[in-house]
Amino acid sequence: MSLFTNILASLYVPLLGAVLIFFCRRFPHIIEIIFVASAAVLLFITFSIFKFGSAIYHQTFELYPLIADIPLAFHVEPLGLVYAAVASSLWLVTTIYAIGYMNANQEKKLARFYMCFCIAMMGVMGIAFAANLLTLFIFYEILTISTYPLVAHKENTEAKNGARTYLGLLLTTSIGFFLVSILWTWQVSHSLDFTIGGILAGKLSDGLMLVLFTLMIVGIGKAGLMPFHRWLPAAMVAPTPVSALLHAVAVVKAGVFCVLKITIYIFGIDLLQSTSANVAIVYLAALTMLLASLVALQQDNLKARLAYSTISQLAYIVLGAALATSASIIGASMHLATHAVGKITLFFCAGAIYTVTKKTSIKDMRGIGYQMPFTMFAYTIAAISIIGLPPMVGSWSKWFLIDGALSSGQIVLAVAFLISTLLNIMYLMPIAINAFINRPASTEPQYQEAPKSLLIPLSMTALLCLLLFFLMPYFYEFLQRIP
């Protein structure tokens, strides 16, 4: 298979999965098989791209002109490959988890659910391999629209309101800011291609460059920067697998991936540093990072707390991207992967707890470690990884991020990272500690450990948190190819 067929296949496989699921919508078992199978095939396809080596990076495949001279085009570069690999491997894990969760909770409209899941995955793959901003934008919006039915899945008033916030904010930012800034970019540079070193050098004055960069990054609502972060907690009304994959991995990571890609390939690191167009975003991201952590402290609903934690962690990546030093970029790219693995584990655990006990409130989870030891053990591992302590994988990315902040001479930001880490400990660890230290109240019914279809995926991702720590040198070497 040539590289081009590989890329196209990564788009077609989820789409084909969706179509097949649609036609088999009356047979619940068959759609589950199709669902898992398409995830497995996609994983194989994504990893087979690695075998082409580094020679094919930035080799662009144009399909046909979409608008004027701007083609629908795809390419492969290290960052996109990382994102695609993370998303597709975690997708496979999530498919298994989702089937278990949906069956255990007797959710309805499964065919629609799985279909939208597949289409969302196509959106993710398109974003990962997009070779210009227009292609990226198209798949970005496909992702937005296809996840709406997932968020509104429960179809009650709460789900409706949550989904409304979700769609409203994402569309407002993407049409109101992102699209405008893309058009502006097109107007000043007559190119939207992702190019090493950026395409905007010398095209705008410093002041306007600041406006454009701010507009574009804020416009990527999926990155969850304040004040456009409300959609993320709102989307927590969705079933947990959706929260896990889409709101800890695919959607939010699509957001920060776009931020990284635009910083590196549209503006260019050098340009950002020389014009200091990044200054507004840097401080906005730092602010988001701290504020979101503070808000997370006050949340009693476990999923809501994780959601705010995600907002805070996303701000790490945006900050890393906006700092525009090579260390911070590597740190941000790394964090994209490490946070994904960690956060998906946490969500899986939250979902497992809900499935078994129907509990969502942190107060009620006292002593739950005695009843669900595996789940809570996995939770603890993932929490440590998110906090960034060795020997978990999260420590690496945080290391590089702080290194990046220091190397750009911003001591304040390095301190902000540290404060945020402390806050991480404060909002993640008490849950684990309470679960194991306190005994459950005697009035509580005796719960069993979560079903296997939930337990296996979450143990796998927890294991990954640990394993990847040791594989990091290879990963680092790979990421260094990002210019």
Partner 1 sequence: MILMHTPALQVIIPLIAAPLCCLLPKSRLAWLFTTLVSFSTFAISVLLVWQVHAVGVIDYEMGNWPAPLGIKYHIDSLSAFILILISAIASITLLGARSIIEQEILHSKHALFYTAFLLCLTGLLGIVATNDAFNVFVFLEISSLSTYALIAMGRNRKALMAAYEYLIMGTIGATFILIGIGLLYMQTGTLNMFDLHDRMPIIGGFNSVHAGFAFFTVGIFLKLALFPLHQWLPNAYTFAPSAVSVFLAATSTKVALYLLYRVFYTIFGFEFSFSTLHLGAVLLPLSIVAIILSSLIAIFQSDIKRLLAYSSLAQIGYMTLGVSLQTQSGLIASMINLFNHAFIKGALFMCLACIAYSIKTTRFNHMAGIAKTQPWVAAAFVVGGIALIGLPPTAGFISKWYIVLAVLETSWWLAIVVVLTSLLAVIYVWRVVEQMYLREPLDNIQYGTPVPMMLIICTWTMILLSVYFGIDNRFPVRMATMAAEMLIP
- For 423, the token pair is 């806050």
Measured from the CB atom, is 106 or 187 closer to partner 1? Answer: 187
CA-to-CA dists, residue 99 to 240, 341, 453, 465, angstroms = 11, 19, 8, 23
Measured from the CB atom, is 21 or 315 closer to partner 1? Answer: 21
Residue 441 Cβ vs partner 1, minimum distance, rounded to whole Å = 38
Q: What are the φ and ψ backbone dihedral angles of 438, each rounded to 5 degrees?
A: -80, 145
CA atoms within 13 A on the CB side of 257: 35
Residue 176 Cβ vs partner 1, minimum distance, rounded to whole Å = 6
Residue 139 Cβ vs partner 1, minimum distance, rounded to whole Å = 8
Measured from the CB atom, is 16 or 294 closer to partner 1? Answer: 16
Measured from the CB atom, is 145 or 287 closer to partner 1? Answer: 145
- For 220, the token pair is 């990527």
DSSP three-state, residue 358: coil
Residue 125 Cβ vs partner 1, minimum distance, rounded to whole Å = 15
Residue 216 Cβ vs partner 1, minimum distance, rounded to whole Å = 14
Residue 366 gets the label, from left (phi > 0), alpha (psi -120 to 50) or beta, of beta
- For 61, the token pair is 């495949």
Residue 395 gets the label, from left (phi > 0), alpha (psi -120 to 50) or beta, of alpha
Measured from the CB atom, is 186 or 374 closer to partner 1? Answer: 186
Residue 237 Cβ vs partner 1, minimum distance, rounded to whole Å = 12
Rounded Cα–Cα distance for residues 305 and 307 (Å) = 5
- For 310, the token pair is 């995600």
CA atoms within 13 A on the CB side of 176: 11
Q: Which residues contact 464 (CB under 8 A, 6 or more apart)?
A: 341, 393
Residue 11 Cβ vs partner 1, minimum distance, rounded to whole Å = 12
Measured from the CB atom, is 67 or 411 closer to partner 1? Answer: 67
Measured from the CB atom, is 164 or 359 closer to partner 1? Answer: 164
Fill in the DSSP letter of residue 21.
H
Which chain residues interact with partner 1 by CB under 8 A? 64-68, 137-138, 141-142, 144-145, 149, 152, 155, 159-160, 163-164, 167-168, 171-172, 175-176, 179-180, 183-184, 186-187
